[in-house]
């Protein structure tokens, strides 16, 4: 049933394939991913794709590629067979290859000395402009146009629509000299220009499906949408059916775009394609990478996004990712490595609602985008449960209006009331000769689905009232009016947005930040109808989409914006600037607190001027991983074979979490005594040379937070100052999550960090023997 949730409007995070059957229990995860990995293994049952990691020795690309064939030849009966099994050589930014291997061959390879690690290729699933104005980032915001036009942002996504106005190159000069990427002419793809300067695709499993075109062209709308949110041109008069009308624009309309298509209709997004995109993008000279694709692998050394992003970070490139759409379940957050920015989805202050009028004169409201004006005053109304084709199951499946369960004669020309079980009921009703549908649901009432027939979704208690009305009269009737835009309080975190705590580390708070991800208007593809459902004839240049996928490019765009003012800042500095300037959100309206929103709502205008940043580089992350209990040998995947790590001889990181992270999270120990965590932090002055910052602290009940020293003074730019934060939490906080914060306040800056105390243990969390 959940397969139908694959419909695009309420976008899903792409999560891992086969290993994650348990996630099928969560809303928003569709069977598509399983379909994807099955497709990949069909026809070659005992062989699968593996990624064989040799680390990054860079003598010579050609030599590296040849050595990959040689290595494979040692397993296979002939060189030809070796060449045939090789799917790809990653030679530009790291040294690895993807090949089709049996389990035995994979095991044999992993025993070779030159091989750092071997991991199976997995398939992931995918995870919209008023949003900028809503965040206080107007079209007239301060810009650094020269620098902005030298910024190249990369997206790993479903491809792009090159002819879209959002990517036209009027006013753009040639690509910046550092750009080494490429863009070819491909099927159904008109090519690049001076705005869209790179476009490639990776489909290394070689499986063809008619639903895909081997080209960077976007068949799904997702990549076009995220790209335009990140860096689309300013396009006036954008709307969908007259809704959400206004000027569409990206965070950095002056920046250049490069699309690396790694997600396919037929198979989702695979690890080997993602790694190929990292290999290429790092080499091509991109500045920021945006990935609205998810994964739930808790281990940072065999997660393709974490591994690829680490290599990118080492070369000064920040990777921004979506937190996932598996909320509101706790510990569902994806992409949680500390060198990634993990983005939650929030709502802006509008919603799309349709008025429903019942025959007895009552009116009520539903949610969704319904572009149809009623032709009649009222339509006959029937309950799906009473319109079943098969009376022997008591209406069980017809009450959900499952395709095939309805008697066409009983729904023809009528509106039908259905309980929600999956997306696409509007198509089913239309296909069965009905007029439209009122859907009663407990979930997803904060996102507007686009409908292909007159439809709306109401809260299930209203739904029951409708059902009651149907049974109270001999000829029940109703009408659904065209959708209107209404104002609602905001921001709140989307119900679907994945929540913490971090399944990968008990000491790192995730998600990091929240950005708009509900009903976002951005560019769309002409190659897919708005719903993607059978029989839908609605097409539009702009569409509304929801998901953490839509939130991610907002933050990636602001990272590019920050970089256009501070081109020399490290990825960690840019990330810190974005996090510490976020607008605090409220636990009262978001009961999961920081586990829902991290530091709060993205605040673009302030992010370029944070005052102080929490900076760090690759060594800090290695110290952190050692502290978390990762064996040094496993870290070669991140660093390369020339750089062995021995955690017991490495200078250890300092403090409770061994990382200079902009937030703090203490895991409560099960004990009679209070749990104490001493966090050590270093801030770098990026504000005025002479400045003084005093600390302000808020501690929740049962917790004390002491900061030493309480004042930091600077005499020059880039000067560093360290401080200690002693967090002491009472044992009575067991089974609770509470939070406070500390903020360094200068004359014109506030540098704020949440402090979270987690008294709940989650089964999903990795339990590494880390040092406390
Ligand atoms: C990833 O690594 C962890 C341990 O480091 C291991 O338990 C897990 O099986 C690995 N997963 C894959 C798919 O290789
Ligand atoms: C792609 O191009 C081919 C050849 O020009 C054409 O037949 C096909 O209809 C195009 N596909 C789409 C989805 O536009
Ligand atoms: C009718 O329902 C029964 C019981 O659920 C089921 O066994 C049967 O296959 C159904 N028939 C049709 C035509 O759907
Ligand atoms: C419903 O099922 C019929 C028969 O299997 C199929 O032709 C039709 O496309 C389905 N409708 C939808 C909306 O999936
Ligand atoms: C790491 O260093 C320690 C102390 O020098 C040594 O005993 C150990 O063998 C080293 N481990 C590896 C894997 O080299
Ligand atoms: C910091 O505290 C000192 C001493 O209390 C005070 O003189 C100073 O004005 C404060 N500075 C700021 C920026 O609040």
pLDDT reported for residue 130: 62
**Ligand 5 surroundings by CB, under 6 angstroms:** 646, 648-649
pLDDT at 768: 43
Question: What are the pLDDT digits (tens) for 445-483?
Answer: 999 999 999 999 999 999 999 999 999 999 999 999 999
Residue 630 CA: which ligand 1 atom is closest? 5
Q: 550: which 2 tokens?
A: 């839509």
Q: What is the pLDDT of residue 132?
A: 76
Residue nearest to atom 10 of ligand 1 (CA): 302
Q: Let me know the angle formed at the C-alpha of 572 by 599 and 289, rounded to the nearest 5 degrees.
A: 95
Rounded-to-integer distance, Cα 547 and Cα 323, Å:
9
User: Which numbered ligand comes closest to the C-alpha of 647?
Assistant: 5
Decide if 374 contacts 454 (C-beta within 8 A). yes
Which numbered atom of ligand 4 lies nearest the CA of 403? 1
Given the residues 68, 124, 127, 222, the one annotated as active site: 222
Is 222 a catalytic site residue? yes
Cα 250 to Cα 348: distance, rounded to the nearest angstrom: 16
Query: Ligand 5: which of 634, 641, 644, 648 to mutate, most ligand atoms within 8 Å of CB?
Result: 648
**Does residue 13 surpass a pLDDT of 60?**
no
Give me the mean pLDDT over the 364-381 stretch.
97
Which numbered atom of ligand 4 lies nearest the CA of 430? 13
Q: pLDDT tens digits, residue range 630-653?
A: 999 899 899 876 678 999 999 999
Indicate if the pLDDT at residue 14 is higher than 60.
no
d(CA 50, CA 72): 12
Q: What is the mean pLDDT of residues 616-622?
A: 96
> Is 131 an annotated catalytic residue?
no
Nearest protein CA to atom 3 of ligand 6, as residue: 694
Which ranges of 178-265 does DSSP label H, i.e. alpha helix?
222-231
Query: What is the mean predicted confidence (pLDDT) over 747-762?
Result: 94
Q: Is the pLDDT of residue 2 over 90?
A: no
611: Cβ below 6 Å to ligand 6? no
- Identify the bridge partners of residue 543 per DSSP, sorted by sequence position: 522
Query: Apex CA 521: angle with CA 515 and CA 523, to 5°?
Result: 115
Mean pLDDT of 702-714: 98
Q: Which of 391, 393, 396 to mutate to test the pocket of ligand 3 (most atoms within 8 A of CB)?
A: 393
State residue 116's pLDDT score.
86
pLDDT tens, 152-187? Answer: 999 999 999 999 999 999 999 999 999 999 998 898
- Two structure tokens written together for 609: 């001027």
- Residue 1 pLDDT greater than 60, yes or no: no
Distance CA 213, CA 3 (A): 22
Instruction: Quote the Cα angle for 654-659-662, to 5°.
Output: 125
Q: Is residue 696 in contact with ligand 3, taking CB distance under 6 Å?
A: no
- Across the strands, what pairs with 350? 487
How would you class 42 by CB atoms within 10 Å of its CB: exposed for 0-12, middle for 13-18, buried for 19 or more? exposed
Compare 120 and 703 and report the one with higher pLDDT.
703
Specify the pLDDT at position 56.
Answer: 57
- Cα angle 318-322-325, degrees, rounded to a multiple of 5: 170
The reported pLDDT for the residue numbered 140 is: 80
Active-site option among 37, 398, 549, 620? 549
CB of 747 closer than 6 A to ligand 6?
A: yes
What's the whole-model pTM score? 0.90
Q: Give the span between the Cα atoms of 605 and 140, in whole angstroms.
A: 11
pLDDT by residue (tens digit) across 290-325? 999 986 677 899 899 999 999 999 999 999 999 999
pLDDT in tens, 46-103: 789 999 988 656 567 788 888 899 899 988 888 899 999 999 999 888 889 999 999 9
480-525 residue pLDDT tens? 999 999 999 888 999 999 999 999 999 999 999 999 999 999 999 9
Q: What is the DSSP string of 611-635?
A: SEE----HHHHHHHHHHTT--GGGG
Instruction: Give CA–CA dist 498/301, Å, rounded.
Output: 22
Is the beta carbon of 120 within 6 A of some atom in ligand 1? yes
Tokens 């399983």 sit at which residue?
A: 34
- Which ligand sits closest to the CA of 4? 4
Span from the CA of 405 to the centroid of ligand 3 (angstroms):
9
d(C-alpha 376, C-alpha 363), whole Å: 16
Q: What mean pLDDT is predicted for residues 123-133?
A: 68
The catalytically annotated residue of 11, 56, 150, 157 is 157
How many angstroms separate the CA atoms of 195 and 166, rounded? 9
Which ligand minimizes its atom distance to the CA of 526?
A: 2
| Average pLDDT score over the chain | 89
């Amino acid at each position: 049933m959940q397969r139908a949730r694959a419909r695009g409007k309420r976008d899903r995070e792409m999560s891992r394939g086969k290993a994650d059957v348990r996630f099928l229990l969560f809303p928003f995860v569709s069977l598509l991913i399983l379909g994807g990995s099955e497709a990949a293994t069909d026809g070659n049952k005992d062989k699968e794709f593996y990624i064989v990691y040799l680390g990054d020795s860079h003598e010579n690309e050609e030599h590296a590629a040849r050595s990959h064939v040689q290595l494979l030849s040692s397993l296979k009966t002939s060189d030809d067979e070796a060449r045939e099994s090789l799917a790809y050589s990653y030679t530009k930014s790291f040294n690895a290859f993807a090949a089709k291997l049996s389990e035995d061959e994979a095991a044999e390879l992993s025993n070779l000395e030159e091989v750092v690690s071997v991991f199976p290729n997995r398939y992931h699933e995918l995870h919209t402009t008023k949003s900028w104005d809503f965040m206080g980032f107007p079209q007239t915001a301060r810009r650094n146009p020269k620098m902005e036009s030298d910024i190249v942002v990369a997206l790993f996504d479903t491809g792009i629509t090159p002819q879209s106005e959002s990517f036209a190159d009027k006013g753009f000069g040639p690509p910046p000299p550092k750009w080494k990427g490429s863009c070819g002419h491909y099927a159904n793809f008109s090519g690049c220009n001076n705005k869209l300067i790179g476009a490639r695709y990776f489909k290394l499993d070689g499986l063809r499906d008619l639903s895909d075109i081997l080209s960077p062209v976007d068949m799904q709308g997702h990549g076009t949408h995220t790209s335009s949110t990140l860096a689309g041109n300013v396009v006036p008069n954008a709307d969908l059916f007259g809704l959400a009308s206004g000027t569409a624009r990206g965070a950095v309309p002056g920046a250049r775009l490069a699309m690396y298509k790694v997600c396919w209709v037929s198979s989702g997004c695979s690890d080997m394609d993602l790694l190929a995109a990292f290999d290429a993008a790092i080499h091509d000279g991109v500045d920021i990478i945006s990935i609205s694709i998810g994964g739930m692998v808790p281990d940072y050394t065999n997660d393709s996004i974490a591994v690829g992003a680490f290599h990118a970070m080492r070369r000064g490139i920040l990777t921004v990712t979506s937190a996932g759409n598996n909320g509101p379940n706790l510990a569902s957050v994806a992409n949680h490595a500390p060198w990634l920015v993990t983005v939650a989805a929030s709502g802006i202050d509008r919603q799309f609602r349709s008025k429903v009028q019942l025959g007895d004169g009552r009116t009520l409201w539903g949610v969704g985008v319904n572009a149809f004006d009623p032709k009649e005053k009222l339509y006959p109304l029937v309950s799906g449960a009473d319109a079943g084709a098969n009376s022997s199951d008591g209406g069980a499946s017809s009450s959900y209006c499952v395709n095939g369960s309805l008697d066409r004669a009983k729904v023809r020309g009528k509106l039908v009331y259905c309980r929600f079980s999956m997306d696409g009921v509007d198509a089913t009703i239309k296909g069965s000769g009905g007029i439209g549908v009122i859907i009663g649901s407990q979930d997803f009432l904060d996102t507007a689905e686009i409908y292909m027939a007159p439809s709306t979704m109401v809260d299930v208690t209203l739904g029951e009232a409708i059902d009651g009305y149907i049974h109270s009269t001999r000829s029940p009737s109703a009408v659904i009016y065209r959708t209107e835009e209404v104002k609602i309080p905001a921001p709140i975190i989307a119900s679907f947005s994945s929540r913490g705590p971090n399944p990968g580390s008990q000491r790192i708070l995730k998600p990091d930040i929240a950005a708009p991800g509900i009903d976002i208007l951005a560019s769309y593809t002409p190659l897919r109808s708005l719903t993607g459902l059978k029989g839908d004839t609605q097409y539009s240049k702009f569409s509304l989409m929801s998901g953490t996928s839509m939130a991610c490019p907002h933050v990636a765009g602001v990272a590019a914006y920050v970089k256009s003012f501070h081109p020399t800042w490290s990825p960690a500095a840019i990330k810190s600037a974005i996090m510490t300037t976020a607008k605090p959100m409220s636990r009262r309206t978001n009961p999961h607190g920081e586990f829902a929103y991290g530091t709060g709502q993205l605040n673009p205008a302030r992010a370029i001027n944070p005052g102080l940043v929490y900076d760090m580089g690759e060594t800090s992350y290695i110290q952190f991983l050692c502290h978390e209990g990762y064996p040094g040998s496993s870290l070669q995947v991140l660093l390369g074979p020339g750089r062995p790590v021995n955690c017991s001889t490495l200078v250890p990181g300092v403090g409770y979490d061994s990382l200079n992270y902009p937030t703090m999270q203490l895991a409560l120990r099960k004990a009679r005594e209070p749990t104490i965590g001493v966090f050590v932090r270093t801030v770098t002055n990026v504000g005025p040379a002479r400045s003084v910052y005093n600390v302000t602290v808020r501690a929740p009940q049962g917790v004390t937070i002491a900061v030493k020293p309480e004042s930091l003074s600077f005499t020059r730019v880039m000067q560093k100052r360290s401080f200690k934060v002693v967090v002491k939490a009472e044992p009575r906080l067991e089974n609770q999550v509470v939070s406070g914060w500390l903020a360094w306040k200068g004359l014109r800056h506030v540098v704020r960090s949440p402090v979270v105390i987690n008294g709940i243990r989650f089964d999903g969390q990795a339990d590494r023997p880390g040092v406390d």
